[in-house]
Amino acid sequence: MTSWRIRPASRADTQAIVALEAEAFGGASWGAKAVADGLVERNVRVIVASTDDAVTPVGFAFWRNAGDEAEILSIGVARRMQRRGCARALLGEIISAARGSGVRSLFLEVDVANAAAAILYQSLGFEKVGRRKRYYRNGGDALVMRLIL
């Protein structure tokens, strides 16, 4: 099992996050400008994960706090580090921070084709609450999931 170090992202992490996001999402990537803009957006929080023995991030998450609700905007992990608990560690950090900020409901969308992610979210207590038809650029539907905190 890998030990994860989760920390707030800094501007110095921009290029690493851009590369990770492109690797994680390929043609569905937000693109470098949108990732960089997300790092400085007022209500968006960005965290990164690295192994204890590394400085360079291998995972990231963007989330937005909107009072008593919050939304996970994007989460990605380097392919070589997937299925080692990185996404779970990032999600755990978001859930903890959201609870500490008074958030009562945490939302996310996940591609219906991404069964592994949906299973992970369900294992953390997220429930399916809706479906967005043709939500993604490729025409794929998104499941809307919610965790009551």
Give the per-residue pLDDT at 29.
84
Domain of 63 in residue numbering reads as 4-148
Give the per-residue pLDDT at 26.
84
Per residue in 5-48, pLDDT tens?
999 999 899 999 999 999 998 877 888 898 888 888 989 999 99
CATH number of the domain that residue 115 is part of: 3.40.630.30
Please identify which of the residues 21, 109, 127, 136 carries the catalytic annotation: 109
Per residue in 91-135, pLDDT tens?
999 999 999 999 999 999 999 999 999 999 999 999 999 999 998
Give the per-residue pLDDT at 107.
97
Report the number of distinct structural domains present in the chain.
1
Please identify which of the residues 23, 71, 121, 135 carries the catalytic annotation: 121
Amino acid at 126: F
Helices of type H across 6-138: 14-25, 32-40, 86-100, 115-123
The backbone region for 55, taken as left when phi is positive above 0, alpha when psi lies in -120 to 50, beta otherwise, is alpha
How many Cα atoms occupy the beta-carbon half-sphere of 78 within 13 Å? 14
The yes-or-no answer on residue 135 being catalytic is no
